[in-house]
């Protein structure tokens, strides 16, 4: 039996990915920063809300489609940018982009992808965003923008929560550093998973496909490339730089990594069309607030002037329903589709997307509301006194 057939939810795909990958590689997907308080909080935040269905509403024909930053999508899910996906499966970003296009949802390609902007652009006609950073070398940023435009990416997504790389301690313990620390444990771990490394060896060498050969110093092995990329992270970046980038791009633009109402207002002031409420899936600042917890105040501050997207901890259709009821336009997911990719390549990604689609559809019917009808009346905060805005 195809092992994917026994994967009925994202948890099953996670378990399948865990079996398939060396521990160090699985932990690289699964882990978060430091004590992983934020990683856990991203999930547990959803548990603070109960759903309150409305019954005897006509749910025979529920539209699943929605529009995010001017783009029509088949259901309210967006695939978050994740770097170097060929580490998890030889088909990497190609498989993810193709599955997203087939499903009719947006794929966000990471700047740090292992397949290039041009290749992904040529591969699918599906809705695509390109994730970008403000790099020290602004001519490189201009070049990225021009390449994304030429390859038909419809929106740009600026990630703002990587001032420095988060302290991911699972990777340190596992020796998954640059360069790797080949401890006996890591060597054994890799040796136990021949299917994984044979897949890796079958393809061209892993590289940061968007950067390789694009600038002096951006060449050579992965280690040299990573050092180059690290040197390009500009720690002096401000709102003025983000505003500059919006002008350079001239199209739909989102900022990813907003966690406060004040920053959401600043983003609106410089002209963003999308606000991605995110803590990078708990991989950057540990103890940062969970997106679902800060979503209501951000939706309030944005007041319909941009689309708000919730990113982090989404594993179930009910999570999406809760985020939408709090005013998000769509949810982004990272690890869920990577588990699928690791478990079964393109078919595994398709499985993850299918799970989300059917869960969202079923949950909307059970809640008794179409996407546009969802609202605070469908939620109840647990353990809070009556009188709180969501407890009516
Ligand atoms: C393996 C991995 C690589 C990631 N790489 C990037 C990246 O290159 N750029 C970026 O903006 N976010 C990156 N992220 C963060 C995701 O875009 C997203 O914010 C996060 O995965 C959301 O949380 P979730 O995994 O709980 O859905 C990465 C996440 C993972 C798990």
Pairing mode of beta strands 49-51, 379-381 = antiparallel
259 in Cβ contact with 41 (< 8 Å): no
Here the tokens at position 250 are 């001239």
Percent of the residues in the chain that have a pLDDT greater than 90, as a whole number: 80
What is the number of the ligand 1 atom nearest to the C-alpha of 157?
11
Least confident range from 248-262, 360-374, 378-392: namely 378-392
Distance CA 15, CA 88 (A): 14
Which residue is closest in CA terms to ligand 1's atom 20? 281
Percent of the residues in the chain that have a pLDDT greater than 70, as a whole number: 97
Distance CA 22, CA 183 (A): 14
Distance CA 235, CA 204 (A): 33
CA atoms within 13 A on the CB side of 63: 8
Kindly report the CA angle at 256 between 273 and 62, in degrees rounded to 5?
65
Tens digit of pLDDT for each residue in 163-188? 999 999 999 999 888 778 888 888 89
Least confident range from 27-41, 100-114, 194-208: namely 194-208
Which residue is closest in CA terms to ligand 1's atom 2? 82
Higher pLDDT, 200 or 84: 84
Spatial neighbors of 5 by CB under 8 A, at least 6 apart, are: none
Beta strands in the chain (DSSP E): 49-51, 66-68, 71-73, 77-79, 106-109, 128-132, 155-159, 253-258, 274-277, 307-311, 330-333, 379-381
Pocket lining: 274 vs ligand 1, CB cutoff 6 Å: no
Tell me, what's the pLDDT at 309?
99
Distance CA 58, CA 48 (A): 28
Pocket lining: 282 vs ligand 1, CB cutoff 6 Å: no
Q: Which residue numbers are catalytic?
A: 280
Higher pLDDT, 207 or 350: 350
Tell me, what's the pLDDT at 388?
47
Tens digit of pLDDT for each residue in 365-377? 999 999 999 999 9
Tens digit of pLDDT for each residue in 296-307? 999 999 999 999
Which residue is closest in CA terms to ligand 1's atom 1? 29
Tell me, what's the pLDDT at 385?
55
Asked if the model's pLDDT at residue 264 lies above 70, the reply is: yes
- Would you identify the CATH topology of the domain 3-381? TIM Barrel (3.20.20)
Q: Which residue has the tokens 């990719």?
A: 341
Here the tokens at position 15 are 């378990």
pTM, to two decimals: 0.96
CA 114 / ligand 1 centre spacing (Å): 14
Least confident range from 4-8, 223-227, 297-301, 315-319: namely 223-227
Tell me, what's the pLDDT at 48?
95
Pairing mode of beta strands 307-311, 274-277 = parallel
Pocket lining: 280 vs ligand 1, CB cutoff 6 Å: yes
Here the tokens at position 135 are 């790099």
Spatial neighbors of 188 by CB under 8 A, at least 6 apart, are: none
Residues 147, 149, 154, 160, Cα dihedral to 10°: 50
Phi and psi at 79, nearest 5°, equal -90, 120
Average the pLDDT over 322-331 and give the result: 98
Tens digit of pLDDT for each residue in 66-94? 999 999 999 999 999 999 999 999 999 99
Tell me, what's the pLDDT at 384?
58
User: Cis peptide leading into 179, omega within 30 of 0?
Assistant: yes
Best of 82, 144, 323 for a ligand 1 pocket test (most atoms within 8 Å of beta carbon): 82
Tens digit of pLDDT for each residue in 338-364? 999 999 999 999 999 999 999 999 999
Tell me, what's the pLDDT at 232?
84
Average pLDDT, the chain: 93
Here the tokens at position 202 are 């079958």
Tens digit of pLDDT for each residue in 101-153? 999 999 999 999 999 999 999 999 999 999 999 988 899 899 999 999 999 99
114 in Cβ contact with 207 (< 8 Å): yes
Residue 89's nearest CA partner among 12, 189, 202, 199 is 199
Q: First vs last Cα of the chain: how many Å apart? A: 49
Q: Categorize the per-residue pLDDT at 213 as very low, low, confident or very high, splitting at 50, 70 and 90.
A: confident
Distance CA 283, CA 36 (A): 8
Domain segments of the chain: what residues? 3-381
Pocket lining: 108 vs ligand 1, CB cutoff 6 Å: no
């Amino acid at each position: 039996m195809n092992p994917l057939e026994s994967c009925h939810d994202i948890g099953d795909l996670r378990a399948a990915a865990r079996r398939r990958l060396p521990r160090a590689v699985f932990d690289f997907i699964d882990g978060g920063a430091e004590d992983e308080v934020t990683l856990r909080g991203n999930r547990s935040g959803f548990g603070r809300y109960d759903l309150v269905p409305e019954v005897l509403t006509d749910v025979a024909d529920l539209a699943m489609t929605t529009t995010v930053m001017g783009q029509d999508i088949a259901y309210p899910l967006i695939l978050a940018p994740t770097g170097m996906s060929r580490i998890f499966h030889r088909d990497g970003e190609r498989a993810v982009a193709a599955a997203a296009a087939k499903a009719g949802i947006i794929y966000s390609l990471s700047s740090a992808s292992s397949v290039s902007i041009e290749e992904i652009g040529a591969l699918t006609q599906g809705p695509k965003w390109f994730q970008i950073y403000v790099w020290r070398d602004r001519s490189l940023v201009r070049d990225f923008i021009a390449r994304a435009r030429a390859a038909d990416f419809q929106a740009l997504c600026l990630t703002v929560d990587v001032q420095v790389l988060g302290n991911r301690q699972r990777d340190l313990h596992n020796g998954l550093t640059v360069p790797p620390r080949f401890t006996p444990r890591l060597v054994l771990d890799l040796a136990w998973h021949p299917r994984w490394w044979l897949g890796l060896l079958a393809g061209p060498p892993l590289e940061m496909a968007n950067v390789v050969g694009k600038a002096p110093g951006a060449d050579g092995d992965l280690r040299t490339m990573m050092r180059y990329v690290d040197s390009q992270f500009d720690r002096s970046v401000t709102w003025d730089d983000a505003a500059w980038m919006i002008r350079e791009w001239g199209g739909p633009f989102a900022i990813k990594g907003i966690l406060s109402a004040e920053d959401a207002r600043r983003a609106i002031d410089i002209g963003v069309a999308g606000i991605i409420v995110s803590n990078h899936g708990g991989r950057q600042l540990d103890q940062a607030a969970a997106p679902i917890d800060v979503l209501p105040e951000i939706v309030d501050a944005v007041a319909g002037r941009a689309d708000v997207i919730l990113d982090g901890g989404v594993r179930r259709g009910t999570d999406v329903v809760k985020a939408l009821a709090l005013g998000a336009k769509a949810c982004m997911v990272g690890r869920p589709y990577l588990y699928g990719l690791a478990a079964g390549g393109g078919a595994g990604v398709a499985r993850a997307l299918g799970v989300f689609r059917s869960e969202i559809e079923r949950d909307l019917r059970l809640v008794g509301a179409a996407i546009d009808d969802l609202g605070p009346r469908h939620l109840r905060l647990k353990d809070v006194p009556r009188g709180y805005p969501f407890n009516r």
